[in-house]
Structure 1
Amino acid sequence: MPGTSLGTTGDTDLQPDESVGVDEVDILLVLDSLSPSQLAAILAPMRHLERSRVAVLTTPAAAAGLPTAAGSKPLSIVQVSDLDLALPHLRCVLAVGDYMHLGAIAHATALGANAAFLVAQHGIVTPHAPPLPKGAELLAWSEEDGEFWAGGRNDVTSHTVGGQLLHEALRSGDQQRVGGEATSLTYLGQLHGHELQRRSMARAAGAFCRTTGALYRPHPSETDIASRMQHRLWRLRGIEFESSGMPLPELNTAVVSVFSTGVLEAAAAGIPAWVDFPEPPQWLEEIWQRYGMKRFGSSAPTVVPPTVNEPAKEIAEIVLQRAGGRR
């Protein structure tokens, strides 16, 4: 079982403060990875929280790479009882679910402590999404997402707050894009996904790139042997790759994918974005419809409505309410 790291945060610019003790902590943020979607959904709300009250539960590798230096007092947490002892005053947990190791530990601890367990949506919700934890409160991107993911269960509730990832993409697009028409087309890879057969995903991506001349941008998780072999085969067949490493909202290129959250992120940043897949199954067409994703070849690209308020701030307010209010 991998070790984890629990750290409290300081009072200024999220820098560590050795004077802060866990006795003051009643809010726990669970960060399973440093993916942009989790940083936006889980860590961004910290800007609006009383930081002496917050601890971050994450892996040692992630703690070392945190841009916020959140791990000021690392503790080895490998059992639920360890977390119980470390945070005796826990009132609220914010996570992306309980389907990974850290989330499962935090959810069990929240149940035992009678603490609120908030699930922040951090990407597109498909029919294959893990079920919401028992007694969870979902912080959804939209009412439709909330209803879909809750699935009529009476033990979970949902609040619509919007997507921080899309909010940040909108701001990034406003500040960084220089304007003008996109000069190329990039296909956002999803070979890592399990919703569709890998063979079908690879066939669709390869055919699209060969037909349109689109560049292929691998998903960061496409590091397994099968994905690397597929990448090599495509390169041998003349498909070019987009390997700049630039954040998606900063690309000066239109994008296409099957149902990647990146389509919405790009659209929010003002980048033309579409979806494409031959003979899509019904559930995929329903996802396209729920998120307003436009099929490639449509005259108008995907449009993401701007959020009125910053989702991270709304999430923080709900967290504070569940933790008993401001001090």
Structure 2
Amino acid sequence: MESGNDTQISEFYLLGFSEKPELQPLIFGLFLSMYLITVFGNLLIILSISTDPNLHTPMYFFLANLSFVDICFTSTTIPKMLWNIQTQSKVISYAGCITQIYFLILFAVLDVFLLSVMAYDRYVAICHPLHYMVIMNPLLCGLLVLVSWIICILNSLLQSLMMLRLSFCTHLNIPHFFCELNEMVQLACSDTFLNNLVMYFAALLLGGGPFAGILYSYSKIVSSIRGISSAQGKYKAFSTCASHLSVVCLFYCTMLGVYLSSAATQSSHASAVASVMYTVVTPMLNPFIYSLRNRDIKMALRRIIGVPVM
């Protein structure tokens, strides 16, 4: 088949999860519920942190940024999917697909960077408690977030520009509920060697690098906790990391599971279902993980909704 010029492609078709009409209301209701829970849950976290002076610390500053990114991450894919179900359409424009790829990569990698920054924050708090406020000063906190944004924006821009160089054949069906980068590259008619090289190199560098940083931080944290003599001291030190460690495990395990399952089954439909875990379920669960295991967050939330603080 001859490859067509990418300027001739005006739209793609998102096949979603099922072609059966009777399942569409169920899918719509399920994803609308998860999306609303994600948005409202993360907004409550941001509101509680911004309104409570006791939460104006580096740890909660990074958590507020993570909650904002999670809202944006989910909003990149779910509203379009819900709109397509409601209008009984599977169409997404070429420009819309490239835009979706740009923001999806941006917020996914930014999630990874923020989790690594939060791991460093916990490392400083536990391993260097006397110098914590000196090291984690407002300037450094702001700089860490700013640098994370700049790196992620540049990476996302590079990946999107690499997509623009590809040529596509006509009548393109995407076996997913959003424009996933790897799926799009596989659909291209032109040579994709350079795209694959850049994509995998970026995944190794920007995914593996922060993960290595998280592992290093927690190796130092565990070593420091083992040196604490009292059981109560060990529990207190570990409890400050429990929520973050839970989120890290959830995010990386679900993302790793997606790519391992897709590699094992070679099924795009299975990959689409599995990707729901890190694109929808993880951002939805993050507010619950942090609020249920964090006394300060729970107290701030009670003040917001008017429940007396015990």
Range into which the TM-score falls when normalised by the shorter chain: under 0.3
Between structures 1 and 2, the one with greater strand share: 1
| Larger relative helix fraction | 2
Q: Greater RCO between the two (CA within 8 Å, min separation 6)? A: 2
